[in-house]
Amino acid sequence: MAQDSPFTVDADWLQERLGQPGLTVVDASWYLPAQKRDGRAEYDAGHIPGAVFFDHDLVSDQDSALPHTLPSPQAFARYVGTMGVSADDTIVVYDGPGFFSAPRAWWMFRIMGVFQVYVLEGGFDRWKAAGRPVTAGKTPIAPCIFHADFDAGRVASLADMRRIVEKGESQIADARGPGRFAGTEPEPRAGVRSGHMPGARNVPASALSENGELLPKERLSALIAGSGIDLSRPVVTSCGSGITAAVITLALETLGHTDNRLYDGSWTEWGGLADTPVATGRD
């Protein structure tokens, strides 16, 4: 296991255990259009032996107008069961750079009742660069029954966020970049206003890791506190569409902060409505 977080593993740990019964490796790579990377295409071209692909666009509520909306526990269980993933497995999830989309899959598995789930430090980019085992072959899949035990209390709704913004009962940590948070850069999705929820604090997801590894606890704590988040109080994490908010969630949990929720609709929902208040600037 990695030394500084109970939720990450390093490449040595994983390579030593590849192929062992009860270990499932999940490629959860997903990218923004600006990154000009295709997670599925990269997986097909080469992945960690035995890895299955977790498609964030498919493992979502297909009836929602919003991207990446959390599916029902039943739908999640059906999808990951067809991937051959059991709730009893030890699951290691990864993406390309290390801490971008993999924490979203980590969070989803956790709120569906899986606690032996970890994120691979360094991601696939470092794994491949180090000359570790890579294959383009299809992973044999034995579908199974996934038993979901959904913790709805870890998810914040639009109604929750309206109340939080009005009454300040919880802090809001926004994982988007400073320009999008401040409203000086346009949103990548059409029809979504620029800015942030009043009272939110900017904790860019990209600042929480370095060289594909989560920052050490002391630096994480200092960065989050420096962003204006009080770790003794409840926190709701948010981002553009619910993906990178989970990077903050993982950081919070690493620091022992468990009174947190993730706003699944995130800024795409809030900024896409006409009647929600929007603030601009750094604060």
- Of 2, 26, 239, 245, which one is the catalytic site residue? 239
Helix axes 245-254, 217-226, angle to 10 degrees: 120
* 6 C-beta neighbours (distance < 10 Å), count: 10
Q: Which residues pair with 261 in a beta bridge?
A: 236
* 5 C-beta neighbours (distance < 10 Å), count: 22
Q: Do 90 and 23 form a contact (C-beta atoms < 8 A)?
A: yes
Label residue 45 exposed, middle or buried (CB < 10 Å: 0-12, 13-18, 19+). exposed
Q: Do 246 and 165 form a contact (C-beta atoms < 8 A)?
A: no
- The residue assigned the tokens 């509520």 is 61
239 included as an active-site residue = yes
Q: 104: closest CA among 183, 30, 47, 161?
A: 30
Rounded Cα distance between 263 and 15, Å, is 34
Annotated catalytic residues are: 239
